[in-house]
Chains A and B, each alone.
Chain A
Amino acid sequence: MLRFTLRRFGTGVALLFTICTLAYFLLYIDTNSIAAGILGASATKADIAHFNETHGLNLNFFESYWNWLTHALTGDFGAAWTFTDPVSTMIGQRLSVTLTLVVSSLVIVTIVSLTLGVLAAVYGGWIDRLVQVLGLIGFAIPNFLVAFALVAEFAVVHRWFNAVGWTPPSANFNDFLKSATLPIAAIAFTGLASLTQQIRGAVKDTLQNDYVRTLRTSGLSFRRVILKHVLRNSAGPALSVLGLQFVGMLGGIVIIEQIFSIPGLGSFSVQATGLKDIPAVMGVVTTMALIVITVNFTIDLLSAALNPKVRLA
């Protein structure tokens, strides 16, 4: 297990490094046009040279990347070009908002889809059909359309929740619920629909295994076999889908935050790219990649803990 953990950790670090390098390369490859783009059409050559000088763009690629990397390792993403605060500070403030949204959705999605998926797989019938239809709709309809519908119904027509804005849970929990319920529901809906289907599929596959019947022949009840053996063996495939779902949620949250005017990482990335603030964009990409890789690493460890064969891979 230790070897497995170390190996997966190594893979994660290598993946993160690759992504950062690629991203840095692509973002900083054409520094002249960046400067020109930011300074506008009226900028003179001297202006551009001055801009490059002050932002460290005159260094060669490896030097500047090395600079960035060593700082990034200490959690410092450097100064932003268009914001006054350093990139790390800006990301830090917004990260907690985004994580609150994503983690809440993830928890809801996991609990609900586990219950629905297992019920659908084991009992079939109307609940199975419901899950199928739900899965189809959830897959086809993008979460921003769901968000529009939710806003229209529950904020515009009924005014139960806020259509825009954000209150952190620590400030006022009631206001937090008012501001967070709709965005969380919108993010969760899409994830819920497809994860439920995946869990249904995984449980159905596991039920096909010979050992499920053989366990029953030793006198264990159906419920016990499902809850102990089938669930554990379905967890692997379900977890790997959860990982992909999570990446999808992180992408989807960009639009959701924009719709609800929530000051999170997603809306920050829209702002930063709109302003062509390369250090800020680089910081966001790195942070997102770090989150995804951490989550996948955790999922790998979890599935290895549940399934001894995974540890060998």
Chain B
Amino acid sequence: MTTSLISMLQDPNQKERNLFFKVITNPVGAFSAGMVVVFALLAVFARWLMPYDPTVSDYNAISLDPTPAHIMGTDDLGHDIFSRMILGTQFTLSGALLCVTIALLVGCTLGLLAGYFGGLWDSIGNWLSNILQALPGLVVLLAAAAVLGNNLYLAMSIYGFLLSPAFFRLMFVTVRGVRNELYVDAARVSGLSDFAIITRHVLGVVRAPIVIQSGIVASIAISIQSGLQFLGFGSTDTISWGSLLMDGFANIWNHPVRLIWPSVGLALLLVSIVLFATTLRDELERAGTRIRKSTKKSLVSHRRTEAAEAPIVHIENDRVGEEILSIKNLEIGYLQGQGNYKVVVHDANLSINKGEVVGLVGESGSGKTQTALALLGLLPQGGTILGGTIEFEGVDLATIKSKEFDKLRGRRISYIPQEPMSNLDPSFTIGSQMVEPLRVVMGLSKVEAKARALELLGMVGLPNPEKTFRSYPHEISGGQAQRVLIAKALSCGPDLIIADEPTTALDVTIQAEILDVLRNLQKRTGVAILLVTHNFGVVADLCDRVAVMQNGRVIESGGIYDIFDNAQHSYTRELLGAILDENGPAREAYELEVKAGN
């Protein structure tokens, strides 16, 4: 019982331990963490580390510049500044600790309640946090000091309360995010209590971000505390960096060196804390991405060994039209640092004739989308064409200059994306997004462009083009948005459209309508389409020819009937075999209508 409980709790800790370990072994992290520890030790052991009693005046050593005996010099009353600096850390750090603790307690508790239970807690928390964020902290502290008296610890407590929105927001957003995760739903279905869900699933996620935020809040607290003391708040007997700052600034003309010590101390402490927090944040972000990368890598190596069969090209005698696009031995890779490329497309071959609809089929990770993006010259950052040619009407798109490519896109080659909603700019109306390329690329006048845009919106079957023209993307449905994107793709009269899973995000009834639109417009305009998809039903509906991709290679290509009726490659057959038969089980006609009878 206990062993498993321990093992349950141990693993997340292990991961966190790894995270902190990584921060410590990173040179910047080690430096900053080391500095923070040094300051903390100074504060704790100040009593034994000070060379002089900082409160005793030495009238033989008044206003000295640094000497071997007083390495930072002395002040007007003959106090040793070095000793005062050491003792000052105590006050500076304890004030910050108080402030962070209060901010943490108030902010996290409210954030947890508001994020997990919502409702009233949500309203209270957000309203409070809005009020607190609308107040300049220092002014509130001054006002509070006028009534409550001149006590710095009290001021730091109030400031902790004022800073609590920093934790509230963090906690609220994370908890609400986790709350909607399916794994929390699964835990609820398993009968876990709210308390168990919070401790098991929620707190583990926020721990590291809270450490980061604490560092940031601590640095703000230290700044404001020194600022307050500089303004003359707090007892004048208190020895702190703030009072040293005040003394230093008062003597800026005659003893400027006195301002340097507390300034440098403060700057060093603050930079260390913030540096530590950001290093932790960077490591945390990196930990998230690193794992994703490593799984990809393992997939790639595994792929390479698998794809051994030679590609199969069916001979097609019935192709008409001249060739418009020809991809030969295309190789695409992503830079992995130090000149290493991770190859995602090896040796892809494909040709498209004028007016043809060619399906590019494959499962996720087969390289079909990478190939499509390469045709548009818009591979994501780090992606490069490593070899091969993409010949498009006599131009090699693999080596063309980016300025030249700008002239081809839209006018010669255009694009229909997968997810209609995220592919329209949310800040502009559909009309302005339609008109923009017409004016920029086609050079139409404003009036002409608007007329053409309306005509195109009508062509893709939108019932009320005028209304759609005026709408913002969030005001139309997904199906309508996809029609708009088709209209956009057609707007400058391209010769080739790259359609990347254009119906995958849509419901089947909408998909059928969009396929109708694509088929009709293709017939009308004679544009060639490269249709990237994983859905053989869509291929069967629209395509003249098919190319099947696996592991970055085109492994089989041919006419549509060649592939569906006479597939040669084992992978193509496997894919076709995985399609569920329309006349298959419905459970043996409902177990022969429940053994006839009943």
Interface residues of A (CB under 8 A from B): 15, 18-19, 23, 26-27, 29-30, 34, 136-137, 139-142, 144-145, 148-149, 151-152, 156, 163, 209-211, 213-222, 224, 229, 232-233, 244, 247-248, 250-252, 254-255, 258-259, 269-270, 272-274, 276-278, 281, 284-285, 288-289, 292-293, 296, 306-309, 312
Assembled-state Cα–Cα distance A209/B92 (Å):
44
B426 CB contacts on chain A under 8 angstroms: 211, 233, 307-309
With a cutoff of 8 Å between Cβ atoms, the chain B residues found around residue A19 in the complex are: 131, 134-135
Given A144-B227, A219-B411, A219-B441, A27-B147 contact (CB < 8 Å): yes
Contacts of B409 in A (CB 8 A): 216-219
Contact across chains for A251 and B138 when beta carbons are under 8 A apart: yes
A145 to B249, CA, bound (A): 10
Chain B neighbourhood of A251, CB < 8 A: 136-139
Residues in B whose Cβ lies below 8 Å from that of A308: 426-427, 472, 474
Shortest distance from the beta carbon of B431 to any chain A beta carbon, whole Å: 13
Q: Is B329 an interface residue (CB 8 A)?
A: no
Known: A141-B270, A251-B136, A254-B231. A30 touches B410 (CB 8 A): no
Q: Which of B408-433 contact A (CB under 8 A)?
A: 409-411, 413-415, 417, 419, 422-428
**Interface presence of B551 (CB below 8 A):** no
Determine the distance from Cα of A309 to Cα of B410 in the docked complex, in whole angstroms: 28
Residues of A within 8 A of B488 (CB): 218
Determine how close the nearest CB of chain A comes to the CB of B32; give it in whole angstroms: 10
Known: A145-B267, A255-B138. A219 touches B440 (CB 8 A): yes
Contacts A19-B131, A233-B425; A220 near B436 (Cβ below 8 A): yes
**Can you report 24 A-B residue pairs in the complex whose CB atoms are below 8 A from each other?**
A19-B131, A27-B146, A27-B147, A30-B147, A144-B227, A148-B259, A151-B252, A210-B422, A214-B415, A216-B378, A217-B413, A218-B414, A218-B489, A218-B491, A220-B410, A229-B425, A233-B425, A247-B133, A247-B135, A251-B139, A254-B139, A258-B231, A270-B142, A288-B139
Chain B residue nearest to A280 in the complex (CB): B146
Q: Is the CB of B437 within 8 A of A218?
A: yes
Contact A214 B485, CB 8 Å, known A136-B274, A140-B273, A219-B492? yes
B278 at the interface (CB under 8 A from A): yes
Interface size on B, residues (CB 8 A): 72
Complex CA distance for A296 and B138, rounded to whole angstroms: 19
A210 to B424, CA, bound (A): 8
**Given known A-B contacts A142-B227, A251-B139, A307-B427, A209 and B147 have beta carbons under 8 A apart:** no
B131 proximity list for chain A (CB < 8 A): 15, 18-19
- B440/A220 in contact, CB under 8 A: yes
CA distance A235 to B138 in the complex (A): 28
- A-B contact sample (8 more), CB < 8 A, given A27-B146, A219-B414, A254-B138: A144-B227, A215-B425, A216-B409, A218-B489, A219-B409, A221-B406, A269-B142, A281-B142
CA distance A30 to B148 in the complex (A): 9
- Min Cβ gap B164→A in Å is 15
- With A140-B270, A270-B231 known as contacts, the answer to whether A244 contacts B133 (CB < 8 A) is yes
Please give, as numbers and ranges, the residues of chain B lying within 8 Å of A151 by CB-CB distance.
252
Q: Which residues of B contact A232 (CB under 8 A)?
A: 427-428
The minimal Cβ–Cβ distance linking B199 to chain A, given in whole angstroms, is 32
B136 close to A211 (CB less than 8 A): no
| Contact (Cβ within 8 A) A211 B423 | yes
Assess whether B527 is interfacial by the CB under 8 Å rule: no
CB <8 Å contact, B138 and A252: yes
Q: Which residues of B contact A292 (CB under 8 A)?
A: 134-136
> B390-421: which residues lie under 8 A (CB-CB) from chain A?
402, 406-407, 409-411, 413-415, 417, 419
**Contact status A142-B253, CB under 8 Å:** no
| Cβ–Cβ contact A141 & B135, under 8 A | no
Give 7 nearest A-B pairs by CB, closest first. Answer: A219-B410, A142-B223, A217-B415, A251-B136, A219-B441, A218-B437, A140-B274
On whether the beta carbons of B414 and A247 are closer than 8 Å, the reply is no
**Residues in A neighbouring B485, C-beta threshold 8 A:** 214
Q: How far is the CA of A152 from the CA of B257 in the complex (A)?
A: 10
Establish whether residues A219 and B135, one from each chain, have CB atoms under 8 Å apart when the complex forms: no
Q: Does B366 sit within 8 A of A, measured CB to CB?
A: no
CB within 8 A of B139: which of A142, A210, A258, A269? A269
Contacts of A255 in B (CB 8 A): 138, 227, 230-231
Q: Are B231 and A139 in contact (CB under 8 A)?
A: no
Evaluate contact between A218 and B378: CB separation under 8 angstroms: no
Q: Is the CB of B146 within 8 A of A145?
A: no
Interface contact A136-B275, CB-CB below 8 Å: yes
Closest CB in chain A relative to B229 CB, distance in Å: 11
* List of B residues within 8 angstroms of A217 by Cβ: 376, 378, 409-410, 413-415, 489, 498
CA distance A88 to B483 in the complex (A): 61
Give the complex CA separation of A307 and B135 in angstroms: 26
A213/B249 in contact, CB under 8 A: no
> Cβ of A273 and Cβ of B249 under 8 Å apart?
no
Q: Is the CB of B437 within 8 A of A139?
A: no
Quick one: closest B residue to A124, CB to CB?
B381
The answer to whether B472 and A281 touch across the interface, beta carbons within 8 angstroms, is no
Question: How far does the alpha carbon of A289 sit from the alpha carbon of B414 in the complex, in Å?
Answer: 52
Check: B256 CB closer than 8 A to any chain A CB.
yes
Q: Check if A144 sits within 8 Å of B230, measured CB to CB.
A: yes
A213 to B423, CA, bound (A): 8
Closest to B412 in A: A219
In the complex, the chain A residue whose C-beta lies closest to that of B275 is A136
- Does B266 interact with chain A (Cβ within 8 Å)? yes
In the bound complex, CA of A137 to CA of B268 (Å): 10
Please, what's the 1-or-0 string for B485-499, where 1 marks a CB less than 8 Å from any CB in chain A? 100110110000010
Q: Which of B115-160 contact A (CB under 8 A)?
A: 130-131, 133-140, 142-147
Bound form: Cα–Cα A312–B473 in Å: 13
Q: Are A220 and B437 in contact (CB under 8 A)?
A: yes
B271 CB–A CB distance under 8 Å: yes
In the bound assembly, the distance between CA atoms of A215 and B491 in angstroms comes to: 13
Q: Is the CB of B134 within 8 A of A285?
A: no
Query: Which one of B139, B226, B227, B267 has the greatest number of beta carbons of chain A within 10 Å?
Result: B139
Shortest distance between the CB of B54 and any CB in chain A (Å): 22
Q: Return chain A residues, CB-CB under 8 Å to B492.
A: 218-219
Flag if B267 contacts A141 (CB, 8 Å): yes
| Complex Cα spacing A213 to B223, Å | 43
- Bound CA span A296–B136, Å: 13
Residues in B neighbouring A214, C-beta threshold 8 A:
415, 417, 423-424, 485
B219 at interface by CB-CB < 8 Å: yes
Whether B63 sits at the interface, judged by CB under 8 Å, is no
A254 interface neighbour in B134, B142, B378, B423, Cβ under 8 Å: B142
Residues of chain B within 8 A (CB-CB) of A163 are 252
Once the chains are docked, how many angstroms separate the CA of A186 from the CA of B417? 48
